[in-house]
Amino acid sequence: QKEVEQNSGPLSVPEGAIASLNCTYSDRGSQSFFWYRQYSGKSPELIMFIYSNGDKEDGRFTAQLNKASQYVSLLIRDSQPSDSATYLCAVKGANFGNEKLTFGTGTRLTIIP
Amino acid sequence: GAVVSQHPSWVICKSGTSVKIECRSLDFQATTMFWYRQFPKQSLMLMATSNEGSKATYEQGVEKDKFLINHASLTLSTLTVTSAHPEDSSFYICSARPRGISNQPQHFGDGTRLSIL
C-alpha cells in the first residue's frame, strides 16, 4: 500500500466550475498536510497546508482534512485555465523532529476553457 | 518571504563529469534542507536530508558516495553528483524549512535540470 495515494487523473474541469482533488494517507499519526502545485517543467509551489480537522480556506482554495478517514482534499472554486497543473499532496509523519514529507504521485488537472 | 534559490537551473555535461548544485535560503535560516529527484511523469523522490553542521541522512537506495551533500551554513546546502552518467539525468530540486518554527511547510527552489550526454 502506498503511503500517500492520489488519483493520477487527468481530471478535466470546465472553466468556472469547482475542481476537487483527493488524497488518502496510510500513517494514522500524520500531523501536517500540504498541497503543492507543479506546472510542467517547474518545481512545486505551496498552495495550502492544514493541520486540524475541518476546512481551511484561502481565496479560491479550500483544504479539507478528515483524520479519522485519513483523507485530505483540495477544492478549487471558479477554476481558471491557469489552474491547469499537477497537484501534489504531501504528508509529514507522526515522529517528532522528522521533517520529511511523503508525496503522492500527483493529480493532473486540466481546466477546459 | 521564504524564498529558496537553486543554481544552476540547468546543466548539460559529458559522462564522467562531477556537477555541483547549490541551494540557498534567501530570507530565512534553515537547519534542514532536502534534496529531491524527479524523473519525467513521476513524483518527487526524497534523496537525502541535509543537516547544518552534520552529515546528511540518505534515503534507502541513494548512494552517499555518488551524491555528496554539504550543509556548511544555515543558508546553503550543496549537492554534488560525482562522475555523473546518463542515468543520473533528472530534475533535481531542493527545499528548505524555516528554522525553529514547527510545522512550517517546505519551500522549494526552482530546480536543476541535469542532462548527462
Among B44, B52, B103, the residue to mutate for chain A (most A Cβ within 10 A) = B44
C-alpha–C-alpha distance, residues B43 and A36, integer Å: 12
pLDDT given for residue A48 in this prediction: 94
pLDDT given for residue A99 in this prediction: 77
The residues, ordered by sequence, that sit 6+ positions from A6 with a Cβ below 8 Å of its Cβ are: A21, A22, A23, A87, A88, A89, A104, A105, A106, A107
Cα separations in angstroms, A32 against A28, A29, A109, B28, B53: 11, 10, 23, 21, 26
Decide if A104 and B43 are in contact by the 8 Å CB cutoff: yes
- Is residue B93 less than 8 Å (CB to CB) from chain A? yes
C-alpha–C-alpha distance, residues A19 and A83, integer Å: 10
pLDDT given for residue A1 in this prediction: 59
Chain B CB contacts of A36 below 8 Å = 108
Strands of chain A, DSSP E: 4-6, 11-14, 19-25, 32-38, 45-50, 54-58, 61-66, 71-76, 85-92, 101-103, 107-112
Amino acid letter for position B79: L
CA angle at B97 for the pair B91 and B103, rounded to the nearest 5°: 125
pLDDT given for residue B98 in this prediction: 83
Averaged pLDDT in 10-residue chunks for chain B of 117 residues? 89 96 92 92 90 89 94 92 96 89 82 96
Averaged pLDDT in 10-residue chunks for chain A of 113 residues? 83 97 93 94 93 95 96 97 96 74 93 96
pLDDT given for residue B10 in this prediction: 95
φ/ψ (deg, to 5) at A82 = -70, -10
DSSP lists the bridge partners of residue A107 as A87
pLDDT given for residue A54 in this prediction: 95
pLDDT given for residue A71 in this prediction: 95
CB contact at 8 A, A36 and A87: yes
Say how many CB pairs under 8 Å bridge A and B.
47
C-alpha–C-alpha distance, residues B36 and B12, integer Å: 19
pLDDT given for residue A96 in this prediction: 58
